[in-house]
Structure 1
Amino acid sequence: MVVALLLSAHRKVFRNKYLYAGMGIAVVIISPNIIWQLQHGIPVLHHMKELSESQLVHVSRVSFLGDQLKFFVGGAFIVVAAVIGLIISPSFRSYRVIIGIYALTMLLFTYFRAKSYYSVGLYPVLLAFGSVYWERIFTHDWTRYLRLLWVALIVVPFGLLANVIFPVMKPVKIREKAGKFQALGLLRWEDGEDHTLPQDFADMLGWRELADMSWQTWQQVPDADKRYTLLICDNYGEAGALNYYNRGRNIPLANAMDADYVFWFREMDTIRYIVKIGKKPEGAYMKMIGRLQQTCVMKDTLSREYLWGAGAWLLSDLSPELPAALKRALHEEQNVYSRK
């Protein structure tokens, strides 16, 4: 946006004191997050590096551009009209900088292999200009008869694709019509491969079930030991799901040695039980666990957690050395995120 403004007649905005007043207000609004980032070594940089190496590397630049049409199948005529109107309409002349902002941002997104939906925020202003431009076209006597055709070009594709665009179909039905979803590229996940369900849908399946599993396992902990019990998940998605769906239940917040949760982890000097949600515990920690009991298994076969073999586990007869070992591991993860 800054570059596009500098290259246009609108560069005079940088001499306007209200621009900087607005920027100051914005900084005040987001200052809690800025302060938190600075206090913890700017973990967002680690997040972006991890995102780039594990997900964005699989993004096709050609697919990114092609996906823009999928977001606005019916509205593509409006977006194109906005671009044409901004170029040739004298009344839109002072707003042509919007094309520069859109083009430069799309170039950046394409170069850095952004996910397709990152660009959606660019379109509302284009839809507004395109709508006004079409309205002007249809004000002529002979063009008014084209309105019904224009409406059909928007409504018909929308009607045909509504059950694909919106999550109105049950997972089983999506699997039955997988060909339709695959043809639109909706089954491609962040790993670059096609799967049974769209990722945004599959990501959220089984979340309530995970919370119920944790609640059932939690109730098997003796009341006297519940204050010394740690609830831990494999990743931030599971922890977030538990903390959302367990609201109103007498159960502590879930923890995870993943993402920002490493800074919210509940450190305990005494741990008698652990309720573990996710994969079966393994590795170095196993020698510190006297008893391992699987209490629940995932039943939703279409959820990602089911594919990962997730379940609920109750760990007991724990070694007194376990809290210190967890604390060391936690601090190592914090150092990774804070670049120490």
Structure 2
Amino acid sequence: MPVGLSRFALKPVLGVAAGVAVLELLLVGRYGFHRDELYFLSAGRHLAWGYVDQPPLTPLLARLSTALFGESPAGLRVVAVLLAAATIVLTALAARELGARQGGQLLAAAGAAVSAMVLALGHMLSTASFDLFAWMGIGVLVLRLLRTGDRRWWLPIGAAVGVALLNKDLVLLLAAALLPAVRFTGNRQVLQGRWLPLGVLLAVLVAAPNLYWQARHGWPQVTVASGISDQDGLTNRLTFVPMQLLYLSPVLVPVWLGGLRRLRHGPELRWARPLAFGYLGLCALVLLLGGKPYYALPPLLLVLAAGCQPVVDRTWPVPRRRARLVGVLLLAAAVNTAITLPVLPEHQLPAVAWVYKESAEQVGWPELAEAVGAGWAAIPPEHRGRAVLFASNYGEAGALARYGADNGLPMPYSGHMSFADWGPPPDSATGPVLLIHPASYPQVERAFTDCHEVARVDNGHDLANEEQHAPVLLCSVPAAPWSQLWPRLRHFY
């Protein structure tokens, strides 16, 4: 055991992680796929070293998970459950690095376990599911580097950053915030010598296949990121602070604030001060770039871990305070479970969807495929050989790829994100065209002629989500050959 560290609370921490995993697995098959998961399923069928909006790791995980456990929501999400459980263990390890004894480590694990971010990302596979795990692992390694001053830790840090880059480029923001924080508020000697450059080189080597793919394709992820900022930047900035608190849990905010104060001013954690300023710098970068609020979530758990031991010291010896602490954790668990996990009947989802809209996006995909199947049936059989099924966004295209065969549908095409790279239809497919949900993308409908509505989507629960009441249009022919239309039909947001 490293000098200065308490014994790791292995059994209690694993018990907490296992409890969350069991809860997630019990609920994992309720509702259905999320739109992003349907996209990952399709991307997993087109494995590549990169995609226009992401590196290859999450689609690869989707492919592996469904190959092992079946192509169902439950089969896809096993990997997300395991990542969430591992994140809880890493949070306790971070607390240990920050001086927590076994009680503080257990509180850190429990705080992560009841947080909305861990529960949500353990239920649904997304790029953030792996990011949360990877960033927590990097955080533990950085804490070990700062605590020991052993610069050889830059090698595992570099390897971890390289793997994180194979999932999402956002880890570069973490590096951009942490390195200056170490330089100006920490032990700058850990930046000297050959180990940091070697760690950077290792990160580049691990991430090289995706970096090469991005360079060959003109760095499309930059285009996607710019589109997100242009479209949602103001909303992202206005909701940044509230969403940080909600994703953690309002009842845990005092622990998080205590951790931030301890990292900034506590003499016993002077060596860890870069973590506090790195987190604040990361928040500033995300706000400046107009990124989504969850981009800055993983370090929240590191800061929370710093505040756990003082809370245990104040509360656990006093029975009344101990009971209050347990009650607060149970309250957070109950509220966040109701919001992020599929415990409510679908018709009651509006009660929580206004806070966490992703829950409503897991309902209605088979019904969408049924509506599109009804529209396809309106095409005379003799014309279906040259007909095309075209979806306006990747969620709808992914749903039709997953459920379309059950409704007599061919594989869909779409110009959204990497679906555009898996098309276009052949020029011999001269129509008719069945077009799904073009309202948000007027340039799509303009590419076809003589369009009229033949069906409309109804998820059967009167639940307002992006696809509810989406029209299905039957168009006679494309306005030009597909090879000429395709650049106009491509869109990134």
Change (3 A) 1:86 1:262: same
Whole-Å separation in 1 of the counterparts to 2:296 and 2:209: 26
Provide the secondary structure at the position in 2 that maps to 1:232. Answer: strand
Q: Structure 1 residue 270: deviation in Å? A: 0.3
- Structure 2 residue 484 is matched with structure 1 residue 311: no
CA RMSD of aligned residues (A): 3.6
Q: Report the residue type matching 1:109 in the other structure.
A: V
Report if aligned partners of 1:57, 1:113 keep a CA contact under 8 Å in 2.
yes
Q: How far is 1:98 from its partner?
A: 0.6
The answer to whether the 8 Å contact 2:388/2:432 transfers is yes
Structure 1 equivalent of residue 449 of structure 2: 286
Pick one of 259, 262, 276 that aligns with 1:82. Answer: 259
Residues 19-98 of structure 1: pairs in structure 2 closer than 5 A: 19-61=196-238, 63-71=239-247, 72-98=249-275
Question: How many residues align structurally?
Answer: 307
The answer to whether the 8 Å contact 1:138/1:146 transfers is: yes
Q: CA deviation at 1:286?
A: 0.8
Listed one character per residue, the Cα deviations across residues 158-211 of structure 1 (whole Å, up to 9, x for unaligned) are 435642354432343244x4xxx5xxxx637xxxxxxxxx53233343222223
Q: Which residue does 2:416 correspond to in 1?
A: 258
1:135-150 → structure 2 map (5 Å cutoff): 135-137=312-314, 143=318, 146-150=321-325
Aligned pairs for 1:143-222 (under 5 A) are 143=318, 146-160=321-335, 162-175=337-350, 177=351, 187=354, 198-215=356-373
For 1:282 and 1:96, how far apart are their aligned partners in 2? 55
Q: Return the offset for 1:222.
A: 7.7
Question: For 1:108-127, what per-residue CA distance to the aligned partner results, in whole angstroms no more than 9, with x for missing partners?
Answer: 22344443322211222223
Contact conserved, 1:74 with 1:155, CA < 8 A, in 2? no
Structure 1 residue 54, shift from structure 2 partner: 1.8
> Are 1:15 and 2:192 counterparts?
yes
Q: Which residue of 1 aligns with 2:427?
A: 269
- Say if 1:206 and 1:303, in contact at 8 Å, map to a contact too: no
Instruction: Give runs of ≥4 in structure 1 deviating > 6 Å.
Output: 219-225, 247-250
Deviation at 1:332, TM superposition (A): 4.1
Counterpart in 2 of 1:299? 458
Percent identical across equivalent pairs? 21
Q: Are the counterparts in 1 of residues 456 and 470 from structure 2 also a CA contact under 8 Å?
A: yes
TM-aligned CA distance change 1:157 to 1:40, over 3 Å: closer
What is the distance in 2 between the residues matched to 1:216 and 1:12?
Answer: 68
Measured in 1, the distance between the counterparts of 2:409 and 2:447 equals 28
| Alpha-carbon distance in structure 1 between the residues aligned to 2:232 and 2:393 | 16
Distance in 2 between the 1:32 and 1:228 partners? Answer: 38
Q: 1:286 to 1:221 in 2, by over 3 A?
A: closer
Q: Which residue of 1 aligns with 2:278?
A: 101
TM-score by length of 1: 0.73
Alpha-carbon distance, 1:218 to partner = 5.3
The residue identity in structure 1 corresponding to 2:365 is W
Q: List runs of 5+ in structure 1 lacking aligned partners.
A: 189-197
C-alpha distance after superposition, 1:261-306 (max 9, x if no partner): 322223412014433322488545216x8xx672x32122424455
Deviation for aligned residue 1:102 = 0.9
Whether 1:240 aligns to 2:398 is: yes
SS in 2 for 1:275: strand
Q: 1:33 to 1:213 in 2, by over 3 A?
A: farther
Q: Which residue of 1 aligns with 2:79?
A: none
- In 2, distance between residues paired with 1:306 and 1:165? 20
Structure 2 gaps of 5+ residues are: 1-177
